[in-house]
């Protein structure tokens, strides 16, 4: 039975770096954010978004992602509504993806809102990626060409590191690439030992 390893971490913590490292070691990785973006091009999801948010987030039939992001990241209720539309679609897609990877001993399910969405309950283990707050803020400002205020707003909408870590099986401190590699080797060794015993 394929084990699902949930991978999460706050914005700017470096989840993608950790996910890429797992992938480079031959572990299949499912990135929910990428899949959610694809889902948001499907007619079903677009129609639901239009019903919920109206034409203000559309230019003719094209979804204005920036406009939608602006709305939801400043309103936790609206963010929950958007997640309620996109998340079930991603969940269904992941189930199909899992069938294609059922010969793998474990797969990585990467999600920024693993805890907030309740998806962690479907994972066998959870890895939380952490990094110093200032470093996270700096990374997001550079990556998204945004402001400190906007980054802090997004951080406020997510569970904090302590909450996530208390519910996680492994913590990866993203302070250097070397530290990440060492932690991942430890995690994989643990999982492989567990598997041979089961």
Q: Is residue 12 marked as binding?
A: yes
- Laid out side by side, the sheet with 29-31 consists of 29-31, 106-110, 3-9, 125-130, 170-173
Q: Is residue 26 marked as binding?
A: no
One digit per residue, pLDDT tens: the chain, 198 residues? 899 999 999 999 999 999 999 999 999 999 999 999 898 889 999 999 999 999 999 998 899 988 998 898 778 789 889 988 998 889 999 999 999 999 999 999 999 989 988 899 999 999 999 999 999 999 999 999 999 998 998 888 788 999 999 999 999 999 899 999 999 999 999 999 988 876
* Domain hosting residue 67, numbered range: 3-197
Q: Is residue 15 marked as binding?
A: yes
CA distance 82 to 84: 5
- CATH code: domain of residue 45: 3.40.50.300
Q: Give the total number of structural domains in the chain.
A: 1
CA distance 70 to 82: 12
Q: Is residue 8 marked as binding?
A: no
């Amino acid at each position: 039975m394929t084990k699902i390893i949930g991978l999460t971490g706050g914005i700017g913590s470096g989840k993608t770096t950790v996910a890429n490292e797992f992938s480079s070691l031959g572990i299949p990785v499912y990135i929910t954010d990428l899949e959610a973006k694809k889902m948001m091009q499907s007619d079903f999801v677009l129609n639901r978004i239009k019903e919920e948010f109206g034409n203000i987030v559309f230019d003719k039939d094209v979804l204005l992602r920036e406009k939608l992001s602006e709305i939801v990241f400043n309103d936790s209720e609206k963010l929950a509504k958007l997640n309620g539309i996109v998340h079930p679609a991603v969940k269904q897609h992941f189930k199909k993806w899992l069938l294609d990877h059922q010969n793998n001993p474990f797969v990585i399910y990467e999600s920024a809102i693993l805890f907030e969405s309740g998806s962690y309950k479907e994972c066998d283990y959870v890895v939380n990626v952490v990094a110093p707050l200032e470093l996270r803020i700096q990374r997001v400002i550079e990556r998204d060409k945004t402001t400190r205020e906007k980054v802090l707003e997004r951080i406020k909408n997510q569970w904090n590191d302590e909450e996530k870590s208390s519910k996680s099986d492994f913590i990866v401190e993203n302070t250097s690439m070397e530290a990440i590699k060492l932690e991942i080797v430890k995690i994989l060794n643990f999982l492989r030992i567990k598997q041979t015993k089961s």
